[in-house]
Amino acid sequence: MLKKAWASLLALIFILTIAPLNTSANEAFLDALEEDLKATHYDYKEGTAEIVKEETLRHSNGNEVIAAVVEIDTVRDGIFITRKTEFHYYDATDNKILATADLAEVEGATEFADANIDMLGQQIVYWLPVLILLLLIAIPAVILFVVVPRFYSTTEYMNPIYEKNDNPR
C-alpha cells in the first residue's frame, strides 16, 4: 500500500513538473516579444526571453496590458554573453508590444516600474572568454615545456665532445 502511495505521489510530482506553466496570453506575449526583440536587439539570442515577474494593468481605452520584467540573453561575437533584465509591456487585446510612448495612457505603469526598478540590470557571463584566454595561454605553455624539450637538441649532442676536450663554454 505504501509503495502504491509513493508511486502515485511521484507520478503526480512528475506530471506537475512537465505541465505547461504559461497560459495562452503568456505564450502570445512571448511570441510577440520574440519578434520585437529580434527587431530591436541585433545580438539577441533567440528563445532566451523569460518572464521573471508580470502584472496585469489597464489601458485608458479599456485594453488589458501585461507589464513584465523580462530576462534576455544577448551574444556578441559568439563568446560575449550578456544577461539583461528589462521592462516590456504587452497589449493583450491588440496583441502587440507597447512602446515607451504608449505607456502614458496605461494606469499603473509608473507604479510597476518604480516597484521593480531594482530588478533591472545586466550581467556579463565571463566563463567562456576566460576559458578561451586560458586555452590561449595553456596550449603554448604545454608546447614550450613538454613538446619542445623532447626534440633533438644540438647542445645535448655536443656536450660530451665539449667535456672531453676541456673546452670552456
For residue 169, is it within any domain?
Answer: no
Task: For residue 7, give the 3-state DSSP assignment.
Answer: helix
For residue 133, is it within any domain?
Answer: no
Of 17 and 78, the structure prediction assigns the larger pLDDT to 78
For residue 34, is it within any domain?
Answer: yes
Contact status, residue 45 vs residue 75, Cβ threshold 8 Å: yes
Q: How confident is the model at residue 121 (pLDDT cuts 50, 70, 90)?
A: very high
What is the distance between the alpha carbons of residues 34 and 23, in angstroms, rounded to a whole number? 16
Q: pLDDT by residue (tens digit) across 132-163?
A: 999 999 998 888 888 777 666 565 655 665 56
For residue 92, is it within any domain?
Answer: yes
Of 46 and 11, the structure prediction assigns the larger pLDDT to 46
- Within 8 A by CB and 6+ apart from 52, the residues are 68, 69, 70, 71, 85, 119
Q: What is the DSSP letter of 144?
A: I
For residue 151, is it within any domain?
Answer: no
Whether residue 168 is predicted with pLDDT greater than 70 in this model: the reply is: no
Q: Which structural domain, as residue segments, surrounds residue 98?
A: 22-126
Q: pLDDT by residue (tens digit) across 20-79?
A: 554 566 888 898 999 999 988 889 999 899 999 989 888 888 889 999 999 999 998 888
Total domains present in the chain: 1
Task: For residue 41, give the 3-state DSSP assignment.
Answer: coil
* Helix residue spans in the chain (DSSP H): 2-18, 24-40, 109-115, 127-142, 154-164
Looking up cell 497560459, which residue turns up? Answer: 23
Res 22: pLDDT: 45
For residue 63, is it within any domain?
Answer: yes
Res 159: pLDDT: 61
> pTM score, two decimals?
0.66
Which whole-number Å values give the CA distances from 49 to 14, 46, 78, 105, in the listed order?
A: 25, 8, 18, 26
* Closest C-alpha to 67, from 23, 21, 118, 33: 33
For residue 15, is it within any domain?
Answer: no
Res 164: pLDDT: 62
For residue 68, is it within any domain?
Answer: yes
